[in-house]
Structure 1
């Protein structure tokens, strides 16, 4: 399979249009049609219906392979490029919202103090996007947060050749409205809340699928989804009765109108990890050293 044909196929499926995919890729519509036809001939099966434009059953199956394959190809290109890279005076960080802690901010400022000409760019994004940014070289480091057992790594998307280490670990809490009957409890069992109404906020909080896995039970349904990364915005929805969510206990205690109750069972913590390339050097390596806990 030709990688460029795979890339064209993914773009056609994402845009549900041959013409929009052509515009996004900078091709003619005829070239896009030729790529899809060649890929279908290679695999000897239709991959995309034309009216409407949608993946066939085989196309859906191919899509499951195509995205990680293309990501790993981009990662390989970025990994090789780092070997010959001359490090400019810039540093790009990709952070999930909960990973941009005061300790991280102080580390960035400390690096800027020692390297005053260094231009630092920080952007917040989801976990998958943060991992992908470092893999493909659009970010030098990623800082990601999530929930895990005290001795387990974070459940992240395929990080390929990246290495990771933890820089912070705090108790994980459930956020409830301050008037909720359980708000005064000293601790809560996660499984006891499986039937409650939750808010799905995969970037600002622990994804509900991770809570199901941690509690080893079904449930944790939601009728409200929050796509932002602002913890106060999410807390406002909790305070209004929109549903429950989770956060690191210290941060959750400062959300107005919300009670933060630690989770006692299972043993689960909120962790922040640094993801970096194996060949990390220059400002990225300096910041990594600053963030790494002393042994």
Structure 2
């Protein structure tokens, strides 16, 4: 399967237009049509309806494969170039809002640093494609267990920190006076689904082992203060690292005692660390 043809197909499917895809890719519309026809012939399946332009069932299935395939190709290209080139000055760090806490932030160099705060699922791809030198990812895990990251490229991870997690509730919540909470007792509670700012509900469900944890409101941003305000206003519960949950005006943070899980932060990088990235990893390990 020719990756050039696959990129053309993904672009046409995303824009729902042959002409718009031609403009974005710098091809003629005729060339885009030829690319799609060649890919359909290679796969022996129709991938797009023409009026309107939309993926067929086979085309939708191909899109599921296309993203990871193209990302791996981009990651391979960047990895080879990175290995052959001299390290560039400066450091770009991609991090989730709850991963860049006191320890990770204090270890950053004082000059030449760019920090990009992203959703949790975007950080590994940023590192794999060279948009960031290193990444800081976090999540819920059993103590000392590694996080499960998407398989976007051969990435190296190393643990940076672990701390307890707390349930954030409104100050007037009936359970706010507790000294500890079990997740099993909160299965039927209203929850906030905030994959970009908080700890993912799907990881909590996996730790619980029997489903539950119904989302009452979804927050798609990456601002932790907004998430805490939503929890304090009673829109739902959320679980956050202890150091973050402690700063919740109008809310109460109660330790999660069962299941026994922690908030884990890991440093992610591709290939051998050099230059400022290597120095950052060294300082992080010593803090």
TM over 0.5: yes
Q: Structure 1-normalised TM-score? A: 0.92
RMSD: 1.6
Q: What corresponds to 1:96 in structure 2?
A: 96
**Secondary structure, counterpart of 2:49 in structure 1:** strand
Q: Structure 1 residues 36, 223: CA separation in 2 closer, same or farther (over 3 Å shift)?
A: farther
Q: Structure 1 residues 18, 219: CA separation in 2 closer, same or farther (over 3 Å shift)?
A: farther
Of 279-288 and 192-201, deviating more is 192-201
Residues in 2 aligned to 1:159 and 1:168: alpha-carbon distance in whole angstroms: 23
Q: Structure 1 residues 220, 27: CA separation in 2 closer, same or farther (over 3 Å shift)?
A: farther
> Are 1:71 and 2:71 counterparts?
yes
Q: What corresponds to 1:269 in structure 2?
A: 262
1:63-212 maps to which residues of 2 (within 5 A)? 63-108=63-108, 111-112=109-110, 118-212=111-205
Q: What stretches of structure 2 of length at least 5 have no aligned partner? A: none
Q: Structure 2-normalised TM-score? A: 0.95
Asked whether the 8 Å contact 2:139–2:199 carries over to 1, the reply is yes
Q: What corresponds to 1:12 in structure 2?
A: 12
Deviation at 1:275, TM superposition (A): 0.3
1:40-55 maps to which residues of 2 (within 5 A)? 40-55=40-55
Asked whether the 8 Å contact 1:175–1:260 carries over to 2, the reply is yes
Residues in 1 aligned to 2:266 and 2:250: alpha-carbon distance in whole angstroms: 29
Residues in 1 aligned to 2:17 and 2:185: alpha-carbon distance in whole angstroms: 46
Q: What corresponds to 1:252 in structure 2?
A: 245
**Secondary structure, counterpart of 1:97 in structure 2:** coil
Residues in 1 aligned to 2:58 and 2:19: alpha-carbon distance in whole angstroms: 22
Q: What stretches of structure 1 of length at least 5 have no aligned partner? A: 113-117
Asked whether the 8 Å contact 1:146–1:270 carries over to 2, the reply is yes
Deviation at 1:124, TM superposition (A): 0.3
Q: What corresponds to 2:62 in structure 1?
A: 62
Asked whether the 8 Å contact 1:165–1:292 carries over to 2, the reply is no
**Secondary structure, counterpart of 2:210 in structure 1:** coil
Q: Deviations over 1:38-88 (max 9, x none)?
A: 111110111122233222211122112111111111111111011122222
Deviation at 1:285, TM superposition (A): 0.6
Deviation at 1:5, TM superposition (A): 1.1
Residues in 1 aligned to 2:116 and 2:155: alpha-carbon distance in whole angstroms: 19
Misfit runs of 4+, over 4 Å = none
Q: Deviations over 1:253-282 (max 9, x none)?
A: 111111111211111111111001222211
Residues in 2 aligned to 1:101 and 1:158: alpha-carbon distance in whole angstroms: 25
**Secondary structure, counterpart of 2:107 in structure 1:** helix
The correspondence for 2:208, drawn from 211, 215, 223, is 215
Q: Structure 1 residues 88, 56: CA separation in 2 closer, same or farther (over 3 Å shift)?
A: same
Deviation at 1:159, TM superposition (A): 4.6
